[in-house]
Amino acid sequence: MSGEVKAPSTLPAFLSLFTSTGTLICCALPALLVSIGAGAVMAGLIEAVPQITWLGKNKELVFSIAAGMIAVAGAWQWHARSLPCPVDPAQARACTRARRISWIVWWISVGAFVIGAFFAFFAAGLLA
């Protein structure tokens, strides 16, 4: 076994961040651009990246995948919290730091998901 510290709990957290960012792109970004009067910027963005419209049309799927990934990452984080870290002090510090970073990334993912959900499902009714 090598002396390298491996932090398996960071991968699910970063995957949850990736998927929750999709919720911001599909729903919060268009609402923000249109609300600040940058509709032309949004039109140019859609012309450059037409997949954004697919994300918006399939927001239920996007949010389902993101919620599932956040749930899996949270469960993995919860499980990994009690796993042992290496005995070596430097490796133990690296292990503890990786766990802390994973929780921070996971909470950022949750925040991005909530913001995206607000704009996708609730703000449209409030702004109408």
pLDDT in tens, the chain (128 residues): 444 545 456 778 888 888 888 888 888 888 888 888 888 988 898 899 888 888 888 989 999 999 999 999 999 889 888 888 888 999 889 888 988 988 999 999 999 999 989 888 887 666 55
> Does residue 1 form part of some domain?
no
> Does residue 63 form part of some domain?
yes
> Does residue 19 form part of some domain?
yes
Contact 106, 25 (CB under 8 A): no
Q: What does pTM read for this prediction?
A: 0.78
> Does residue 74 form part of some domain?
yes
> Does residue 112 form part of some domain?
yes
> Does residue 5 form part of some domain?
no
Q: Which two tokens stand for residue 12?
A: 């699910």
* Number of domains into which the chain is organized: 1
> Does residue 92 form part of some domain?
yes
CB atoms inside a 10 Å sphere around CB 59: 19
The boundaries of the domain holding residue 88 are 10-127
> Does residue 2 form part of some domain?
no
